[in-house]
Structure 1
Amino acid sequence: MTSNRPQRPQPPSRPNRSSGGGSSPELAPKPYEFVSFPKERPNLQRPIGHHKYFSDRLHGTLYLTLKVQTSLHVSTGVVFMGSDIGNNRIPLIKTMVQGIDQKLSIQGSSLKGCIRSVYEAITNSTLAVITNKYRSQIPTERLPCRNKEQLCPASRVFGALDWQGLLDFSDAKCENMGFSTGFMPSLYRPRPDESNAYLIQGRVAGRKFYYNTIRAIDKGQNSGIPVQQAGREYIFKTKLNFKNLLPEELGTLLIVLGQDSKCPIALKVGGGKPIGMGTMTVNIDKIARSQSLQKRYSAYQLNEFDELMGDALQQFMQTQIKAAYSRLIQQPQLDELKAVLRYPSDREPPSGMY
């Protein structure tokens, strides 16, 4: 007896990706690329600790302005009725975090994960998180750090099991009132088991990053999934506290945030990365750092000389970036990443199946 039940549509078969990055004529180019692992094993060291502020380390706060370049959606995982958030034209909508003042927010954890992934890729670091299913295909030296006395460069800064890290991320709050509504196409999950693109000689090819593009795809109300989003040109503000960092560690962080003119990159935040969503550029408005820690913690107000802005800020950042290039950055991996995250970009998002 033949069943008349409707069958779930199957995604099209994906051809193996050639080493040159080519694609079948029927399919759009892949919207992602892999950044290879460094050839040398990671340099594992004991972290500096939190028990004191060391005089030969850097401490302070970065004040950041993030600008949305392609529509941004960082999901809460909750679907609301459109009328509940002020949009009566949409029956149901996937939401972002929105305060009682009607302003959107980006969770600090989302920013941390995005920034850490880039920091890991351009330093000789291990992976932060893996799926046990693919553990045997990951080089042993790239498995996550499990001993807090032996941490890779990224884990020493961002944290690992039993180690809190040296950076504190705050939620980024939107300066614009309200939100826009977008319509995302349905996206398939990654399928590493069905494509050789993820593997080289049975081992994972590297870290996967999605290209920045000049725009994001919007399928329209009749074809896409309604999402609450921050539209292009929306502005978010946040701050990032750091303590006990080496100059090269802070310099690498500044490169990740797009502050090196020789490496113009933008962050990819939130959902919809394959269709061009989530591109954000970063501007550092000022850095607050105390010349004297004793004076800093015996006064209620920061001295104006402790805030770096303008030319002094640029000079300070370039000094740390120079240290990063000489002592921490992996140049081949940075070059690979720069080709993917470069912004401004003239790359179009994939218009069809890829």
Structure 2
Amino acid sequence: MAMSEYRFLNPYNFVRFMGKARPENDVLGNCPPPPHDRYTGLTGRISCKATAVTPLFVSDSHDVKGKEENAHKTYRFFKVDGHPAIPASSLRGMVRSVFEAVTNSCLAVFDDRTLSYRPPRGKRQLYKHSIGELLPFPREQYVSCREYDKLCPACRVFGWVKDKAESEDDRETLTAYASRVRFSYGEYTEGSAKVLDATTLAVLSSPKPTTSAFYLLKNDKPNATVHYDTSGARLRGRKLYHHHGKQLSGQEYMRPSNIKDRHNRTIEGALGAGAVFTFEVDFENLAPKELGALLYTLELEDGLFHRLGYAKPLGFGSIQVTVESLQVLDWESRLSSVDLTAGWENELTGAKRAEYKEEFHRAMREHYGTDYENNVLVDLRGLLGEPPEIPIHYPRPGEQPDPEGRNYEWFVGNKARIRDRQRKEPKLPAPCALPLAADESEENSLPLIDRSGRRPARGR
């Protein structure tokens, strides 16, 4: 690396929202889902291969060593009949998260709890707006779907359940819709992967939304001093973890000195790069544009990789999915024969699959204009493609990982820089905000900051 100053990328960034609302009465907007009691669209099966590009670990939550409170926990790889496997729910969640982003769907997991609180000093006062209403993004556009007749693309394809509190108050309306896609579990076919030795991982951080310079934009641009009550503040988008690629480093994912405590985890049976799994996706009643969205979401683009499993911030879990075959059921052949395999001979070529994907992309461009390409797709490419040739890790004060995981000192120092900006003659460098995923580079990245707000000496 030619630069003299040590710089790094944050493990996560965001795929920005599209500025325009979803269209009404459109399969890529808000509309009622198709019925399940008859076949009205495309039904078939997608056979896929998933290849690990970086080490992969999918934990078995039922076989955990160290379940006692405050104990160091050890997890093993999920298995079926003694062989490594990927649960169908994990594959489904991996695909749905990208599907939601590329179709401008709702935020299916929406937590409306209090962000932080302190005891009030004065008497109780009733405010005009709830906390959720003050959230700096178009709430009605992205909050999880509430009405059966106005479901977003992801809820119609992957299924929907109305919020429990709302559904208990209304027993007359429809409160759920079954998924039109079913994932099999990922079956291990070995490949060139090796089973890694038991690894004690570095400390994984938990989300801290109060770090507003990382979670918010001001007037659609990164800003180090933005807060949730700042005019022009807006949530950045949907959180995804960087593909580490060639930047994957054992220094970053292994705990220094192999320290084991309640703050970190040990994993057993992780698979190295080259592990291959196969799985199938059965779909029914999909419109051509929905099938195109599903195909694009599964395969992505050349050089882009899904993120799956445990320790994604540390570089684990980059997966390349390829569609091996696509069969669309011919109902006339199926219903005119007693042969259970009849109608499944209709395998679509790669060119036909490309047509479905292009129909989806064209529809998104027509409605959302440049937002689709310049916000969503470029951010996806920045996050899921090969990153710049600089380290990827959480902000910290030194080049070497701290055995105790004291990364918070970087944020203490950045806040010191923010306070320093209020002086007539600031003495510290400018505070830092997380760059846009599309703009990250060796130059447009993050520096080391110690707790005083200064740059530490090289090699620390």
Fold shared by both chains (TM-score > 0.5): yes
Q: Following the alignment from structure 2 to structure 1, what is the Cα–Cα distance between the partners of residues 10 and 83? A: 34
Q: Following the alignment from structure 1 to structure 2, what is the Cα–Cα distance between the partners of residues 222 and 186? A: 11
Q: Following the alignment from structure 1 to structure 2, what is the Cα–Cα distance between the partners of residues 344 and 323? A: 29
Match of 1:69 among 45, 48, 53: 53
Segment of structure 1 superposing worse, 196-205 or 238-247: 196-205
Give the superposition deviation at 1:348. 4.3
Q: Who is 1:265 aligned against?
A: 304
Q: Who is 1:85 aligned against?
A: none
| TM-score (normalised: structure 1) | 0.79
Q: Following the alignment from structure 1 to structure 2, what is the Cα–Cα distance between the partners of residues 216 and 58? A: 44
Q: For structure 2, which runs of at least 5 residues remain unmatched after alignment?
A: 24-29, 67-71, 116-131, 162-175, 219-227, 229-233, 366-371, 394-399, 402-406, 411-460
Q: State the number of aligned residues.
A: 312
Match of 2:210 among 190, 193, 206: 193
Secondary structure at 1:324's aligned position in 2?
helix
Give the superposition deviation at 1:139. 2.7
CA gap of 1:251–1:29, structure 2 versus 1, over 3 A, is: same
Give the superposition deviation at 1:196. 2.6
User: Which amino acid letter does the alignment assign opposite residue 146 of structure 1?
Assistant: R
User: Does 2:43 correspond to 1:39?
Assistant: no
User: Which amino acid letter does the alignment assign opposite residue 184 of structure 2?
Assistant: S
CA gap of 1:63–1:344, structure 2 versus 1, over 3 A, is: farther
Q: Following the alignment from structure 1 to structure 2, what is the Cα–Cα distance between the partners of residues 199 and 325? A: 28
Q: Following the alignment from structure 1 to structure 2, what is the Cα–Cα distance between the partners of residues 114 and 58? A: 23
Secondary structure at 1:244's aligned position in 2?
strand
Match of 1:93 among 61, 74, 79: 74
- Spell out the pairing of 1:159-238 with structure 2 (5 A cutoff): 159-161=159-161, 162-176=176-190, 179-180=195-196, 181-200=198-217, 202=228, 203-214=234-245, 215=248, 217=250, 218-219=253-254, 222-223=258-259, 225-228=265-268, 229-238=270-279
Q: Who is 1:315 aligned against?
A: 351
Q: Who is 2:331 aligned against?
A: 293
Match of 1:243 among 278, 284, 303: 284
Q: How much identity, in percent, do the aligned residues show?
A: 26
User: Which amino acid letter does the alignment assign opposite residue 94 of structure 1?
Assistant: Y
- 8 Å CA contact 2:59–2:78 kept in 1: the answer is yes
Give the superposition deviation at 1:75. 2.0
Q: For structure 1, which runs of at least 5 residues remain unmatched after alignment?
A: 1-24, 83-90
Give the superposition deviation at 1:110. 1.2
- 8 Å CA contact 1:268–1:278 kept in 2: the answer is yes
Rg comparison, structure with higher value: 2
CA gap of 1:152–1:27, structure 2 versus 1, over 3 A, is: same
Give the superposition deviation at 1:125. 1.4
Give the superposition deviation at 1:344. 8.4
User: Does 2:363 correspond to 1:327?
Assistant: yes
Secondary structure at 1:328's aligned position in 2?
helix
Q: Following the alignment from structure 1 to structure 2, what is the Cα–Cα distance between the partners of residues 253 and 346? A: 31
Q: Following the alignment from structure 1 to structure 2, what is the Cα–Cα distance between the partners of residues 288 and 191? A: 44
- 8 Å CA contact 1:252–1:328 kept in 2: the answer is no
- 8 Å CA contact 1:213–1:347 kept in 2: the answer is no
Q: Following the alignment from structure 2 to structure 1, what is the Cα–Cα distance between the partners of residues 390 and 184? A: 31
Q: Following the alignment from structure 2 to structure 1, what is the Cα–Cα distance between the partners of residues 305 and 199? A: 21
User: Does 2:375 correspond to 1:340?
Assistant: no
CA gap of 1:92–1:155, structure 2 versus 1, over 3 A, is: closer
Q: Who is 1:142 aligned against?
A: 142
- 8 Å CA contact 1:94–1:226 kept in 2: the answer is yes
Structure 1 stretches (4+) deviating beyond 6 angstroms? none
